[in-house]
Amino acid sequence: MVDGGMHIEVDACKRILVISPHLDDGVLSVGGIIERAVANGAEVIVATAFTADTPAGARISPLALELHALWDLGPNPFEQRRAEDVASVTSLGARVLHGNLLDALYRADQAGDPLYPTRQSVFGAPSDRDRIGDALVELFDAWISEISPDLVLSPLGVGRHVDHVLTTNAVRRLAMVRAMNVALYEDLPYATGLFPVTAPDSVEAALGRTQWQVTSPQVISVDLPGKLAAIGAYASQIADIFPNGLAFGSVLDTYMRREDGAFGERVWHTATS
Ligand SMILES: [Zn+2]
């Protein structure tokens, strides 16, 4: 399972909790590990935090309206997005949990003003008026109590999306107060170094920013076809994740070819794992 904090025997894990900020991040980033672990008999749960419906009667920001149009799922797109997630995750043999928290797109301050009304703000620092951090810690605590995972896979926070940063910070807060084995996955597509298109981020930059005590990387060998098919189930998200008609299969294939000739998904050990 987890050996001295430096190596994960993924094939020996019994229960893996993959914490996903959005409905697609877990499969995009570690779909191959999910498929491999399930094939080896593990129970894998892909638990997504920000899955709530568009709040009725709220002021919807121009950015949210722009994304609603791009996704083409009507005024309450999260209903279909949750269905996409169920189809994708179950195609890999894993189980779904939905946290029912509001996406950054919809979070507002007490006056009802959107906290993240532009792409720049979504990929900027979390607002000090954003109160979601405590709810995340509470949610993850409940999930871990319910599941008792022998491994928790958390985003590293590559890309600087506020929801990813708040997620990894909340997992870390929890890891400081309860025993859990956490490894950090490289958030895709940002870990390719191509995204966000206007200000690409990198794994190196994310490692420099993270508050986690990161120890060492591990590449876990995986196959690509099952993961690609599962990503395809997030049909509404493809144009947003891979803009300008980028062929996501070749983008991910290139990323997964590691420098040393291995082909796989890379995770980073933390001082708690
Ligand atoms: Zn995301």
What's the rounded Cα separation, in Å, for the pair 102 and 86?
Answer: 18
Q: Are the CB atoms for 115 and 130 separated by under 8 Å? A: yes
Which residue matches tokens 């935090």? 49
Distance from residue 147's CA to the centre of ligand 1 (Å) = 23
Distance from residue 50's CA to the centre of ligand 1 (Å) = 9
Tell me the residue ranges of DSSP E strands in 113-150: none
Distance from residue 25's CA to the centre of ligand 1 (Å) = 5
Question: For residue 4, what pLDDT is reported?
Answer: 47
Q: Are the CB atoms for 185 and 156 separated by under 8 Å? A: yes
pTM of the full structure:
0.95
Distance from residue 162's CA to the centre of ligand 1 (Å) = 9
Question: For residue 170, what pLDDT is reported?
Answer: 98
Question: For residue 151, what pLDDT is reported?
Answer: 97
Question: For residue 8, what pLDDT is reported?
Answer: 86
Instruction: Name the residue among 140, 171, 151 with its Cα closest to residue 273.
Output: 151
Distance from residue 180's CA to the centre of ligand 1 (Å) = 23
- CATH of 2-270, picked from 3.40.50.1980, 3.30.70.20, 3.40.50.1820, 3.40.50.10320, is 3.40.50.10320
Distance from residue 4's CA to the centre of ligand 1 (Å) = 30
Distance from residue 242's CA to the centre of ligand 1 (Å) = 13
Q: State residue 100 phi and psi, 5-degree precision.
A: 60, 30
Q: Which three-class secondary structure state does DSSP give residue 247?
A: coil
Distance from residue 216's CA to the centre of ligand 1 (Å) = 24
Distance from residue 190's CA to the centre of ligand 1 (Å) = 9
Q: Which three-class secondary structure state does DSSP give residue 53?
A: coil
Question: For residue 273, what pLDDT is reported?
Answer: 54
Question: For residue 3, what pLDDT is reported?
Answer: 47
Question: For residue 5, what pLDDT is reported?
Answer: 53
Distance from residue 21's CA to the centre of ligand 1 (Å) = 5
Q: Are the CB atoms for 179 and 228 separated by under 8 Å? A: no
Distance from residue 169's CA to the centre of ligand 1 (Å) = 15
Q: Could you count the other beta carbons within 10 Å of the beta carbon of residue 112?
A: 10
Residues of the chain under the 50 pLDDT cut: 1-4
Distance from residue 72's CA to the centre of ligand 1 (Å) = 18
Whole-number Cα distances in Å, 147 to 8, 34, 44, 68, 217: 19, 16, 10, 33, 25
Q: Which residues pair with 257 in a beta bridge?
A: 263
